[in-house]
Amino acid sequence: MDGALMTRDLDGRSVIVTGAGSGIGRAAALAFAAQGDRVVVADLDAERADAVVELIGQAGGTAVAVTGDLSEQAVVDRVTATAVERFGGVDVLVNNAGIMDSMSAVGDVSDAEWERVIRVNLTAPFLLTRAVLPHMLTAGSGAIVNTASEASLRGSAAGAAYTASKHGVVGLTKSLAVMYRKNGIRANAICPGGTATAIAVEADRTAHGPAAIAPHFVNLGRLSQPEEQAAVILFLASEAASNINGAILPVDDGWSAV
């Protein structure tokens, strides 16, 4: 184990959480910080990201905000450089930022919507993963946790672009698990069911429009809280999950079991 890694172990791990300004990412950032990890709070929304960093600071934790659109390489580079320069490397990457689509059927999706949703939900996690991998490879360890979706597990009325992007996140996660297991790097994904966050409020509002997609929501069960999703992210990033690699884990109160 090299000196830098030992220092990080003593000071808490260096953790990047994307979409950490709101919802599941915010809950995960707060929980990592509460257990002593140092967190890069990455989000498009500067005000929300700063508020999370302030909250962590008030509780005695360590965090830094990096704001910008994670589908841009320059922002990805800034996030990675901040983790390396401020916290000595990247021990944990949580690719969590995501956007909904208009819940359109395949035939109604515009080029612009398709490209934007794929770019934010799938290409951005790829870009950030590619950027942090050299640091994890040098350290000989790392944990990546991706936020997929219940829409990763079936054809979904959540919309064609969203569903395709979240299936892609599963492919990215499994490829990482297979390709880097010998390097001490694990990659897993959670598949949240309906969770009480801003994105779900918007989905719910849209879902009450077209009657065709209503059956999709019949078996939803209770909405989960962002903290319940965050707890599973923390588990998958922890030593307790040291033999879990390539898992695609529903966190949905049994919705996907119906």
Q: Is 195 in the site for ligand NAD (CB under 6 A)?
A: yes
**Interface with ligand NAD in residues 61-90 (CB under 6 A):** 69-71
**Interface with ligand NAD in residues 123-152 (CB under 6 A):** 147, 149-150
- DSSP class of 181: G
Q: Is 172 in the site for ligand NAD (CB under 6 A)?
A: no
- For strand 92-95 and strand 248-251, is the pairing parallel, antiparallel, or unpaired? unpaired
Amino acid identity for residue 221 in this structure? G
Q: How many Cβ atoms are within 10 Å of 124's Cβ, its own excluded?
A: 25
For ligand NAD, give the closer residue by CB, 95 or 141.
95
- Residue 16 to residues 42, 96, 175, 212: CA-CA distances in angstroms? 7, 10, 20, 38
Q: Is 98 in the site for ligand NAD (CB under 6 A)?
A: yes
User: Distance (Å, rounded) from C-alpha 111 to C-alpha 218?
Assistant: 30
Segment near ligand NAD (CB under 6 A); pick from 44-52, 102-110, 126-134, 180-188? 44-52
Amino acid identity for residue 62 in this structure? T
Phi/psi of residue 175, nearest 5 degrees: -65, -45
Using CB under 6 A, which of 17, 37, 40, 43 touches ligand NAD?
Answer: 43
User: Encoding tokens for residue 213?
Assistant: 């997609």
174 classed as catalytic: no
Q: Is 173 in the site for ligand NAD (CB under 6 A)?
A: no
Residues near ligand NAD (CB under 6 A) are 18-19, 21-25, 43-45, 48, 69-71, 96-99, 120, 147, 149-150, 192, 194-195, 197-200
